Structure 1
Amino acid sequence: MLTGTQTRYLRGLAHHLTPIFQIGKGGISENMLDQIGLALEARELIKLSLLKNSEWTVKEAAEEIARSTKAEIVQTIGKTITIYRKSVDHKTIVLPR
């Protein structure tokens, strides 16, 4: 569980990131979750975007992705989701206490 200070820090780091995954009409598949998990392992902090034709709400999609990948939701703004998961092998982000 992230503290408020850690969440603010991660939001600052994520500000310049662009979404690397798009959730559209096809929804969230197992393959997509696998790819998100690999991206989280490599980057720790990623953004995803929800397309207009998606049947998911932003909240539902964020919760499903976070639960399935064991990640933390940093924030949702509009149709953009930011998630974080501490990497095992490629740890680059040092969170404040």
Structure 2
Amino acid sequence: MATALSNTQKRYLRGLAHDLKAVLIVGAKGITDALVAEAALALDHHELLKVKIHAGDRELRDEWIGELASRTDAALVTRIGNVAVFYRRRAENPLIVLPRN
């Protein structure tokens, strides 16, 4: 299960994600098994992942974001327009040290 992030931690992660480029783009096929596997691999390597989601309407986009977060066991940091940022801490040797509160 994804760790719940405090507002301070989300703010810190948003700052780190600001300069990142979107690593994955979700297209018309939506959330596929291959996309989930690639997202999980990227989270294992980077811990912080920016994803562009091209969906027709907001409800579908929100559904895809929720599905991707749950299937990768990642926490949603932020969502602005078509872009979502996810965080999942590494089990060994974490790269990002989160603030306490």
Aligned-partner Cα distance in 1 for 2:42–2:6? 23
Question: Which whole-Å CA distance do the structure 2 matches of 1:13 and 1:55 have between them?
Answer: 25
Normalising by structure 1, report the TM-score.
Answer: 0.91
1:35-94 per-residue CA deviation (whole Å, 9 max, x = no partner) reads: 100100000001000125689733111110110010000000010010000012341100
Provide the alpha-carbon RMSD of the alignment.
1.8
TM-score normalised to structure 2 length: 0.88
- Give percent identity, aligned residues only: 37
Using CA pairs below 8 Å that are at least 6 residues apart, which structure has the higher relative contact order? 2
- The structure 1 segments of at least 4 consecutive aligned residues displaced by more than 4 Å after TM superposition are 52-56
5+ residue gaps in structure 1?
none
Q: Which 5+ residue runs of structure 2 have no aligned equivalent?
A: none
Q: Distance in 1 between matches of 2:59 and 2:92?
A: 32
- Residue number in structure 1 paired with 2:38: 35
How many residue pairs align between the two structures?
Answer: 97
Alignment CA distance shift 1:60-1:52 (3 Å): closer
Q: Is 2:51 the counterpart of 1:21?
A: no
